[in-house]
C-alpha cells in the first residue's frame, strides 16, 4: 500500500518524468538530483525491510543468500515481470517460480531449460509480462480500421 501510494503521488510522477527524460524533467524545474536521492533512500528502506522480513519468514540467513545469484534472481524477476508497471515485479516473481518448477521436471538439464525459457520470454516480450499484457489489451480494445 505504501509503495502504491508513493508511485501514484506527485513524487512518483516526478520520478517517472525523470526516468523518461531527465533533461525535460530538469527543464520543468524538477530537482533531479534531490528526487533521485530521495528515491535511493526509499528503495534502501524497502530493501532493508524486505531483507529483515525474509530472515524472519525462513528463520535463518545462509551464506547462499548473500551471493550474487540470489540478487540476480530478484533482478531477473523484475525484468521478467516488467519494471515499468507497479505489479510487474510481483508477477515476474510468480512467473519465475513457475518457470523454475517447470524446469525442475528436466532433472539433468533443468538449468538449461530454465535459461532457455527465460531468454525466450524476455526476447518475445521486451517490456516484460505486464508490458506484453498491456500491449495485447491495447490491441484488443483499439477499433480495427
The parent domain of residue 97 ranges over 62-145
> Which pLDDT belongs to residue 84?
85
Same domain, 52 and 81: no
Give the confidence band of 35 by pLDDT, cuts at 50, 70, 90: very high
Percent of the chain with pLDDT over 70: 99
Instruction: Count how many domains the chain has.
Output: 2
N-to-C CA span, the chain: 40
Same domain, 93 and 56: no
Same domain, 101 and 54: no
Q: How confident is the prediction for the chain on average, in pLDDT?
A: 89
> Which pLDDT belongs to residue 38?
96
pLDDT surpassing 70 at residue 90: yes
Give the confidence band of 69 by pLDDT, cuts at 50, 70, 90: confident
pLDDT surpassing 80 at residue 145: no
Percent of the chain with pLDDT over 90: 43
* CA dist list (Å): 129 to 75, 83, 116, 121: 14, 10, 16, 8
> Which pLDDT belongs to residue 26?
94
The CA distance from 85 to 105, in Å, is 31
**Of the listed ranges 65-69, 76-80, 88-92, the one predicted with least confidence:** 65-69
Q: Counting beta carbons within 10 angstroms of the beta carbon of residue 94, is it exposed (0 to 12), middle (13 to 18) or buried (19 or more)? A: middle
Give the confidence band of 98 by pLDDT, cuts at 50, 70, 90: very high
Same domain, 24 and 86: no
- Check if the beta carbon of residue 114 is closer than 8 Å to that of residue 100: yes
Same domain, 42 and 70: no
Same domain, 55 and 69: no
Same domain, 49 and 116: no
Same domain, 31 and 93: no
Same domain, 76 and 141: yes
Same domain, 77 and 35: no
Same domain, 55 and 83: no
Same domain, 85 and 142: yes
Amino acid at each position: 500500500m505504501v509503495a502504491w501510494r508513493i508511485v501514484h503521488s506527485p513524487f512518483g510522477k516526478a520520478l517517472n518524468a525523470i526516468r523518461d527524460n531527465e533533461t525535460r524533467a530538469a527543464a520543468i524545474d524538477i530537482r533531479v538530483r534531490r528526487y533521485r536521492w530521495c528515491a535511493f533512500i526509499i528503495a534502501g528502506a524497502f530493501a532493508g525491510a524486505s531483507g529483515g522480513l525474509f530472515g524472519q519468514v525462513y528463520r535463518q540467513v545462509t551464506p547462499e543468500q548473500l551471493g550474487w545469484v540470489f540478487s540476480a534472481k530478484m533482478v531477473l524477476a523484475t525484468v521478467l515481470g516488467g519494471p515499468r508497471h507497479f505489479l510487474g515485479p510481483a508477477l515476474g516473481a510468480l512467473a519465475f517460480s513457475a518457470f523454475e518448477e517447470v524446469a525442475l521436471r528436466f532433472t539433468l538439464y533443468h538449468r538449461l531449460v530454465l535459461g532457455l525459457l527465460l531468454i525466450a520470454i524476455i526476447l518475445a516480450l521486451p517490456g516484460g509480462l505486464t508490458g506484453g499484457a498491456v500491449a495485447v489489451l491495447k490491441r484488443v480494445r483499439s477499433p480495427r480500421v
